[in-house]
Amino acid sequence: MVACAVVWSESRGAFVSDDGFLRAMRTLGVGFSPSTEQASMIAGAVWKKYRAAGGKRERMMADFLIGAHAALQCDRLLTRDRGYYKKYFSGLVVVDPTA
């Protein structure tokens, strides 16, 4: 399992220290995988489509970066948000941990 920079950063916020965070990620077997230039460009293009389609949320670029990273650099995305990612990243395999 890998986490892109956005997920890595958001997850770190839940820990008291860097050491505790890194220990937990290593225990879980989660590696760091930065997004590529191509994934970042796709995230921007998909976000533009979302806004053109009437999407109201302006501050959700992180979700598009996560989706583009998973679509291009991974083989699936672990998330509870099945509808959003499936709509904007149609080829992405979405795994719901609560299912």
How much is the pTM?
0.82
Residue 55: is its pLDDT beyond 90? no
User: Residue 38 contacts by C-beta under 8 Å, 6 or more apart in sequence?
Assistant: 72
Please list, in sequence order, all residues whose beta carbon lies within 8 angstroms of the beta carbon of residue 6, skipping any fewer than 6 positions away. Answer: 62, 65, 66, 69
Mean pLDDT of all residues in 44-58: 88
Say if strands 2-3 and 31-32 run parallel, antiparallel, or are unpaired.
parallel
Residues 86 and 6: their CA atoms lie apart, in Å, by 19
Domain ranges across the chain: 1-34, 35-99
pLDDT band (50, 70, 90) for residue 59: low
Q: 20-44 pLDDT, tens per residue?
A: 999 999 999 999 999 999 999 999 9
- Are the CB atoms for 89 and 63 separated by under 8 Å? no
Q: How many CA atoms lie within 13 A of 75 on its CB side?
A: 1
